[in-house]
């Protein structure tokens, strides 16, 4: 693994940073104050992201994407993640899993997602099935050539502005009576689908989650992604990498919080000295910097392993766990260093701290990551 970035990678980093500075940061305050992202602003940022070549940079060149490998994509994600998620997400990318499209699905879903004409969202979670996805009740039944879908998904990010959903649903049970899952592409503006308001969330203002109800929703037989009953396998192939996205954005927000705390430590005076002169403060900085460095290295190693095709579930889980928990600690300590001002909305720390909370929950909770890691340690020993 090469520790120096190439000239192209530095260019990519600088392009992303410049985009964040010019197009995203200025809108953070509006988002914080209104908890709302106006449609015109969404469209404008998306247009600029397409022009800058950032949109769909993860997607294959032959279908019009940017063709970045996982390592370079992680660099882009990390630096986009510096900004409020609701803004950064616009400049982002279609879900990796769409690369599983075959046949007519390529022209109907994959290509329009890459050009930005059609937006995707992804729906796995249900009111009674979060960590235990196999317990999902949403089901798809074959009727002639079609699939008929019934059920409810909740916590679905950005469904209100999406055109279609990558939907996981039960398509039967195995011999042990366990749910078998399959993955479908479902247009959201069709009969039998209702996108309803979700919940108000303390993290990531302006980033909307929805409930989606499917009521005898009929879709063509071809709209299945991958093989019937192989939804879990599909998740493993395509969705492990999304844990690194969470890790990447966590690292850059921790760096942002750290820089604020460092600056404060070097300038805020109490008892006639800058507070950074007190070990009670400076040792916090030392621990924060060390943890950020460790998180960065784990992140880059995991991204590199995706390209090498050697990333294990354990690697992805460790990286997500460490980077998100590190962000929680760093943002909390940064507030401590800034004292009362740390909690005021005049500086973005209280927001980074609030936003940090969700990272230990979505894309698999910290407990689920620990479960994956510990199983991979113990299983070979038969325990
Ligand atoms: C704002 C927001 C947006 C989201 N966007 C999406 C989206 O776009 N699409 C989507 O499909 N999902 C989305 N999610 C869902 C997210 O991935 C789930 O919230 C997450 O997987 C946890 O599920 P849960 O909230 O139902 O918690 P639960 O699974 O009910 O867990 C509750 C607690 O029990 C613990 N627990 C559960 N099982 C175990 C176990 N075996 N061992 C130890 N502890 C355990 C958990 O760690 C947690 O602490 C989103 C969530 C939020 C909050």
DSSP string, 165-214: EEEEEEEEE-TT--EEEEEEEEESSSTTEEEEE----SSSTT--EEEEEE
Question: For residue 14, with 0-12 CB atoms within 10 Å meaning exposed, 13-18 middle and 19 or more buried, which class applies?
Answer: exposed
Residue 194 has pLDDT above 80, yes or no: yes
Residues 6+ apart with CB under 8 A from 245: 77, 363
Q: Which residues approach ligand 1 with their CB closer than 6 A?
A: 121-125, 130-131, 155-157, 201, 209, 358, 361-365, 367-368, 371
Tell me the pLDDT band of 2, cut-offs 50, 70 and 90: confident
Q: Which atom of ligand 1 is least distant from the CA of 121?
A: 8
Residue nearest to atom 20 of ligand 1 (CA): 362
Q: Which atom of ligand 1 is least distant from the CA of 365?
A: 47
Mutation choice for ligand 1 from 123, 155, 166, CB with most ligand atoms inside 8 A: 155
| pLDDT tens sequence across 319-339 | 999 999 999 999 999 999 999
pTM of this prediction?
A: 0.96
Question: What pLDDT is attached to residue 93?
Answer: 79
Token output for 331: 């943002």
Range(s) within the chain of domains with CATH label 1.10.540.10: 7-93
Question: What pLDDT is attached to residue 351?
Answer: 97
Distance CA 11, CA 307 (A): 20
Question: What pLDDT is attached to residue 333?
Answer: 98
Check if the beta carbon of residue 161 is closer than 8 Å to that of residue 120: no
Distance CA 35, CA 198 (A): 14
Residue 278 has pLDDT above 90, yes or no: yes
Question: For residue 121, with 0-12 CB atoms within 10 Å meaning exposed, 13-18 middle and 19 or more buried, which class applies?
Answer: buried
**CATH number at 120-229:** 2.40.110.10
Task: Give strand pairing partners of 156.
Answer: 210
Residue 320 CA to ligand 1 centre (angstroms): 14
Q: Is the dihedral of CA 248, 252, 257, 263 positive or negative?
A: positive
Residue nearest to atom 2 of ligand 1 (CA): 155
Q: Is domain 7-93 in CATH 1.10.10.10, yes or no?
A: no
Nearest to 321 by CA among 344, 302, 343, 349: 302
Distance CA 279, CA 285 (A): 9
Distance CA 270, CA 333 (A): 18
Residue 241 has pLDDT above 90, yes or no: no
Q: How remote is the C-alpha of 249 from its chain's centroid?
A: 8
Average the pLDDT over 336-357 and give the result.
Answer: 97
**CATH number at 233-381:** 1.20.140.10
Residue nearest to atom 18 of ligand 1 (CA): 362
Question: What pLDDT is attached to residue 215?
Answer: 98
Residue ranges of the alpha helices (H) in 68-124?
70-80, 85-88, 104-105, 111-115
Task: Give strand pairing partners of 273.
Answer: 270
Range(s) within the chain of domains with CATH label 2.40.110.10: 120-229
Classify each residue of 231-245 as buried b or exposed e, where b means 16 or more C-beta atoms within 10 Å of its C-beta.
Answer: bbebbeebbbbbbbb
| pLDDT tens sequence across 195-230 | 999 999 999 999 999 999 999 999 999 999 999 999
Distance CA 155, CA 130 (A): 10
Check if the beta carbon of residue 122 is closer than 8 Å to that of residue 95: yes
């Amino acid at each position: 693994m090469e520790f120096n970035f190439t000239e192209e990678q530095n260019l990519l980093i600088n392009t992303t940073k410049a985009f964040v500075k010019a197009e995203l940061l200025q809108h953070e305050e509006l988002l914080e104050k209104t908890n709302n992202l106006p449609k015109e602003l969404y469209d404008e940022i998306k247009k600029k992201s397409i022009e800058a070549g950032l949109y769909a940079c993860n997607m294959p060149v032959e279908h019009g994407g940017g063709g970045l490998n996982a390592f370079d994509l992680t660099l882009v994600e990390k630096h986009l993640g510096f900004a409020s998620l609701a803004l950064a997400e616009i400049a982002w990318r279609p879900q990796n899993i769409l690369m599983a499209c075959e046949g007519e699905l390529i022209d109907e879903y994959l290509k329009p997602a890459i050009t930005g004409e059609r937006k995707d969202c992804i729906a796995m979670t249900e009111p009674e099935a979060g960590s235990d996805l196999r317990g999902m009740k949403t089901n798809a039944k074959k009727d002639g050539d079609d699939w008929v879908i019934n059920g409810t998904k909740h916590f679905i990010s950005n469904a209100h502005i999406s055109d279609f959903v990558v939907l996981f649903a039960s398509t039967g049970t195995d011999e042990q009576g366990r749910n078998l899952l399959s993955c479908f592409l479902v247009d959201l503006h069709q009969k039998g689908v209702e996108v309803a308001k979700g919940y108000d969330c303390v993290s990531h203002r302006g980033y909307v989650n929805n409930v989606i109800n499917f009521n005898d929703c009929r879709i063509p037989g071809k709209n299945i992604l991958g093989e019937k009953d192989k939804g879990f396998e599909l998740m493993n192939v395509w969705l492990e990498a999304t844990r690194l996205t969470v890790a990447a954005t966590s690292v850059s927000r921790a760096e942002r919080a750290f820089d604020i705390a460092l600056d404060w430590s070097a300038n805020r005076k109490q008892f006639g000295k800058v507070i950074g002169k007190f070990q009670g403060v400076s040792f916090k900085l030392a621990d924060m910097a060390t943890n950020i460095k460790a998180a960065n290295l784990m992140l880059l190693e995991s991204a590199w392993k995706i390209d090498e095709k050697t990333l294990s579930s354990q690697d992805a889980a460790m990286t997500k766990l460490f980077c998100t928990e590190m962000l929680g600690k760093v943002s909390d300590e940064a507030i401590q260093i800034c004292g009362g001002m740390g909690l005021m909305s005049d500086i973005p720390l209280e927001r980074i701290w609030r936003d940090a909370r969700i990272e230990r929950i979505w894309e698999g909770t910290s407990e689920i990551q620990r479960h994956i890691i510990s199983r991979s340690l113990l299983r070979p020993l038969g325990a």
